[in-house]
Amino acid sequence: MQRGEAARVPEEAAPEPCARDVRGATIGPAYANYMLGVLVLVYVFNFLDRQIVSILAERIKHDLGVGDGEIGFLYGTAFAVFYAVFGIPLGRLADVWDRRRLIALGLGFWSVMTALSGLARSFTHLAVARVGVGIGEASASPSAFSLLSDLFPASRRATVLAIYSSGIYLGAGLGLFIGGLVVDRWDLAWAAADPPLGLRGWQVAFLVVGLPGLLLALWVATLREPVRGALDGIEAAPEPNPWREFARELRAVVPPFTLAHLIAEHAGPRAVATNVASAVLIAAGAAALSWLIGTPAQWIALGVGLYAAISWAQALALRDRPAFALILRTPTLRDANLGFSFLAFTGYGIGFWLAPFLIRVHGVSEAEVGLVLGGTSALAGWLGVTFGGVLADRWRATHADGRLRVGMVTALAPLPLALALLFTESTWLVYVLSFPLSLTTSLWIGPGASTVQDMVLPRMRASASAAYLLVITFVGLALGPYTIGRISVALGDLRLAMAFGLVANLAGAFFLWRAMRTLERDQASMLNRARELGERGL
């Protein structure tokens, strides 16, 4: 078999089966596309509520008396750690419960917490509210990835997940536009008088983007739930006690209940000792980094997240050996997750600091940045992520590693564009270059998500997506904005700090290259590996 021939998948030669819902009714292409459109809107709100911090950063710094490191922590780590950690039990719940209801509940919760961000009067209160936003948003993507994989066949999966992921850029662009418009107009209107309830412009912006999400949550609850795995011919039996499974998974990742979970699951003294040793080493590392670098909240939060991830891995090995092997011990998936996570480091880091860079270095107002940069990132990001998905599916039709090749393009193509953007003195050239930069940095998102779906069984997809998002979020969101912020403080130069952040793309290219070497082998052996570990129904 030739390399190109190995990529041709069975469903391309046979008629594609139709999805059906849990009541047995067929879900036609029109309704599947309708559901995709609603889920894109959910993701728009997801990133609208998340990215708005970027355009509000300078006002928040002024009013709350904090620096770049704290702002990077607020946008990145405070959100990311809880988003990633709670994504694990919520991903498990998505694998065993009604995914549309889970998305609706999560959307309602994070919308409320976004609105509460607007009532914060201190940095601590704002950080707590952002933690709540992170927990709520953790419900969305694992559920959506799994839902869409049960609505559309594998041959279209990268395209569909890319279209869904275009909500990232539409939401981020809207966040910049709405945030810049609201904060400028409100603070100007109340410059000579006390504003209503003492609210500043950045607080009003949080209220404006948070409350409409409650209406969208009601809409999401009306969608139909497809049968899990039907399109792949591997239907998963319904779980009779989904909330018990959720509670079990939650206990496995939330300290200090993690030890109690291992004991309750009869893990044995060696597993308990390993868990305790991990906690001690992580605590020592967090203390050392706090002493060397400062910002102890950053390292404590990351330490808690890392310990939770290790505890979950131990629990998964006890509960579900096939899932543990496919999700955590598949070389392709491990290297692909790391490769895409370094692309996320650059995407989140540069994406977050670009608005403050324009405001600080080029002297542009928030309203202008929000209008121009928001519109540019929305359009270019939408085009890039959609094109990346289409390109990945086309390349996969002739090359097994076609989706990972799109990741390699994303790792290398943006580097000259980003350097030119950062070091030009022309504001208009920054705006011009921001379009191809946003387009090329967004190509990987659909291929990344669809690679995960292809490497595990349907019943594991939401959990595998949660694990993927955990790595993406820790490396990309928790470290990207914070690291660039800290380098900016150390060097006194945000431009140089952003340039140093681009090195992450080279690390991403290395891990994606490794994944390309093992992908065909790991895909071909997936079912056999699962059977050998006791998977039934294959």
* Pair 110, 133: CB distance under 8 Å: yes
Domain count, the chain: 1
What's the confidence (pLDDT) of residue 500? Answer: 95
**Inside any domain, residue 4:** no
Tell me the sheet residues that pair with 226: 21
The reply to whether 98 falls in a domain is yes
Q: What is the DSSP letter of 74?
A: I
Average pLDDT of adjacent 10-residue blocks, the chain of 538 residues? 42 58 81 94 90 84 82 79 87 90 96 92 90 92 89 85 87 85 86 82 91 95 88 74 90 88 90 94 95 86 90 90 94 96 93 89 86 85 90 91 95 96 95 94 90 89 86 88 89 94 96 96 92 82
HSE-up of residue 64 (Cα within 13 Å, Cβ side): 25
Residue 14, domain member (yes or no): no
**CA 490 – CA 294 distance, rounded (Å):** 12
Give a yes or no: residue 8 inside a domain.
no
C-beta of residue 436 within 8 angstroms of C-beta of residue 380: yes
**pTM for this predicted structure:** 0.78
6 part of a folded domain = no
Report yes or no on 19 lying in a domain.
no
CA distances for 518 relative to 186, 330, 335, 470, angstroms = 55, 9, 9, 22
Give the span between the Cα atoms of 463 and 158, in whole angstroms. 18
Which residue type sits at 385?
A: V
> Is residue 16 situated within a structural domain?
no
Residues 371/177, Cβ–Cβ less than 8 Å:
yes
Give residue 84's domain range.
25-233+242-532
pLDDT at position 17 is 64
| 189-228 b/e (C-beta count within 10 Å ≥ 16 → b) | ebeeeeeeeebbbbbbbbbbbbeebeebbeebeebbbbbb
Structure tokens at 360: 């600080």
**What was the pLDDT predicted at 183?**
87
CATH number at residue 71: 1.20.1250.20
pLDDT score of 234: 72
Identify whether 170 is part of a domain.
yes
